[in-house]
Chains A and B, each alone.
Chain A
Amino acid sequence: AQTVTQSQPEMSVQEAETVTLSCTYDTSESDYYLFWYKQPPSRQMILVIRQEAYKQQNATENRFSVNFQKAAKSFSLKISDSQLGDAAMYFCAYRSFTGTASKLTFGTGTRLQVTL
């Protein structure tokens, strides 16, 4: 079974600064998807960014980018120019590539605080 580990329960960043959230995972599969989800106080899960394991290029979405190290099974999220609205729980998630096993496995989450 796949596991996802987020070793930082809480992180803090000043507004306009950059922060990196860590995620490692364990799998025996060669093809899979990785995701970062944001859960603000409203509890609505919002997809931040996604990475296909077969792609060598790191995914980027505006201020959000990932550092995907397949051999190290590491998938960190970098948030640049942090904004107050970025404050939330961030969950790293894994999903198998094959259509018969598309369920998401979540990490334990990292609570991000953004300070003035």
Chain B
Amino acid sequence: GAVVSQHPSRVICKSGTSVKIECRSLDFQATTMFWYRQFPKQSLMLMATSNEGSKATYEQGVEKDKFLINHASLTLSTLTVTSAHPEDSSFYICSASRGLAYEQYFGPGTRLTVT
């Protein structure tokens, strides 16, 4: 159990456009979802925490107007990178949890390339 999917697995977009990444919990209800960013050969950096039905909590230094997070249901959270630039190219990973005190299960990640 505890499977988390992400879509798409890879996406290439042009500079200035927006791109949406979906994170789904397939076999459990995810009250809380987390979005991470991972640059090549680096660790995972938490971008934001989202709770179903409420606004996301962003980490310091993460632009909330650029990285829009929506967690409208207990199985789906989306991350929209608005007006993407080449420096936004990275590997984005989501994780889902039944609640703040529960285990996080990770999605397979999405590689974003902005040209």
Contacts and interface: CB of A to CB of B under 8 A. Distances in A.
A47 interface: yes
Interface string A15-48: 0000000000000000000000000001111110
B109 A103 contact: no
Interface in B66-81: none
Interface residues of A, number: 19
Nearest to A102: B100
B54 interface: no
Contacts, number: 46
Interface string A100-114: 111111111100000
Nearest to B57: A103
B64 to A, nearest CB: 16
Question: Dominant SS at the B interface?
Answer: strand
A98 to B, nearest CB: 8
Contact of A44 (B34, B42, B108): B108
Contacts of A46: 106
B44 A47 contact: no
Nearest to B91: A43
Given A102-B101, A103-B34, A103-B49, A44 B43 contact: no
A108 B32 contact: no
B93 interface: yes
Given A43-B91, A45-B106, A104 B100 contact: no
B58 to A, nearest CB: 12
Contacts of A99: 99-101
Nearest to B32: A102
A91 to B, nearest CB: 6
18 contacts: A42-B108, A43-B109, A45-B44, A45-B93, A45-B95, A45-B106, A91-B43, A98-B101, A99-B100, A99-B101, A100-B100, A102-B100, A103-B34, A104-B44, A105-B46, A107-B43, A108-B42, A109-B43
Given A91-B43, A104-B44, 12 more contacts: A43-B38, A43-B109, A45-B44, A47-B103, A91-B44, A98-B101, A99-B99, A104-B34, A104-B104, A106-B43, A106-B45, A107-B43
